Every structure is written in structure tokens, then in C-alpha cells.
Amino acid sequence: MAGDLPGAATRAVVFDLDGVLVDSFEVMRRAFRTAYAEVMGDGPAPFEEYSRHLGRYFPDIMRIMGLPAEIEEPFVRESYRLAGEVTVFAGVRPLLAELDRRGLLLAVATGKSGPRARSLLGALGIAGHFAHIIGSDEVPHPKPAPDIVERALALLGARPEEAVMVGDAVTDLRSARAAGVGAIAALWGESEPGPLLAEEPDAVLHRPADLLGLLAPAPSGARS
């Protein structure tokens, strides 16, 4: 572990969504290919390049890639249509249940829009674990700016030194660092570990349950 985590002082955990809580990579691939074909016509969709920017707000990715903003509408449409194929990563449900039992404050800060994120987590039955689910369309500046993490902390009533963020993208770690919270890399999704490790995160998790080892044990009066 690099750097210092709040450890026993941790009161709040902010999670990224895609690649951390849910396995949506294949759905994103299919939605992007369909949207690209509708707007751009024939030719291979540059999904590999798109995937390197995951964690950012979709309109920002289009701008970075030099693609038209019109791709967003069919991408969102297809993402909603295919949402039933998104799954919760193994180990996430018991992790969230244990964090609840320990009385931690939980939020989601995602590159998705807020409505899409809340709809997806609601359909998967895990939205109730989070006090707040915040999308990139609900802050002035999306990741890697600190705004979305700072918004989560303000809503949770937690100080930066009391919080960590778990993400699977470089933008997550940079957003966490800019907000002054512990930056934790999650490696159970599709992200390449090299770029994440190059950011020198404060901790690296290989499975969701690894997070529990970084946090204080549940107090005797914790919810059961």
C-alpha cells in the first residue's frame, strides 16, 4: 500500500460504478458499436480507444476522441435497452451488506448520468445501500476533477480525511486525490492494471472483500 489511508478513521466510502460495482463492459461495447454505426456509418467502431477513457463522462470522451456528440443519444438508448444484461460483480453484495452493518456512509460517484446510474442500481437491487448516487451530469466538472467526490462528501457529511474512493480508472484515482480522499484501485473488472498501478494508489484491491481489511472492524453496537 502506498500513502496513508484513513484506516480506523474511515467513515465514508465513495464507489465508482462501472467496473467496480457492476460488470457492464460487454453492454457498453455493444451499445457503443451500435451508436457508432448509426451516426458514423460503416467501419469498425473504435471501442478500444473508447475503453481507455472509461471513467469519464460520455460527452467528454466523445470530445477527446473527436467524435460527434450525436453518438450519445443512441448510446444511452442502447444502454437502457441492454441494462438487463448488466450484473453485479461477485462479492459486491456481501461487501455492501457488511459496510452497512459497520455503519459506514456510502455513495456512488460515476461517469454515467445520475438518472442512468440510479435506474441501473435500482433495477439490480442495490441502490438502497447508498445514501447518494451522483452522476457526472450533476456536478460542474466531471472526473478527473474533484467535484463529484467533493459533492459526495458534502452530501454524506464526511471530511476528506474520513473517506476513501474505490475506482477502476485513472480518472477515479485522480479525482479522489484531488478531493483529498484515499485513492483505492479495484482490479476485478476489465481495466488494465498497469495504468492504475502507475498512479500509485493508496491501496490495491483484487476482490471486493479486500476493502474490509483496510477498514476498522465493526463496533460492538453496529447494525446487524
Cross-strand partners of 54: 56
Q: What number is the average pLDDT over the span 174-192? A: 95
pLDDT (tens digit per residue) in 98-107: 999 999 999 9
Averaged pLDDT score across all residues of the chain: 92
C-alpha cell at 164: 476513501
Work out whether strand 182-186 and strand 163-167 pair parallel, antiparallel, or are unpaired: parallel
Active site (catalytic) residues = 16, 18
Helix locations, the chain, DSSP H: 25-40, 47-51, 58-65, 72-81, 92-101, 114-124, 147-156, 170-179, 193-198
Tell me the backbone φ, ψ of residue 165, rounded to 5 degrees.
-125, 135
pLDDT (tens digit per residue) in 3-62: 456 555 799 999 999 999 999 999 999 999 999 999 999 899 999 999 888 888 999 999
What pLDDT is attached to residue 163?
96
**Pair 18, 28: CB distance under 8 Å:** yes
Report which DSSP code applies to 214: G
Find, among 190, 153, 186, the residue nearest to 54 by Cα. 190
For helices 72-81 and 25-40, angle between their N-to-C axes, nearest 10 degrees:
140
Q: Which CATH architecture has domain 7-23+86-214?
A: 3-Layer(aba) Sandwich (3.40)
Q: Please state, in angstroms and rounded to a whole number, the distance separating the CA atoms of residues 98 and 137.
A: 30
Chain-centre distance of CA 223, in angstroms? 26
Q: Is the pTM of this model over 0.85?
A: yes
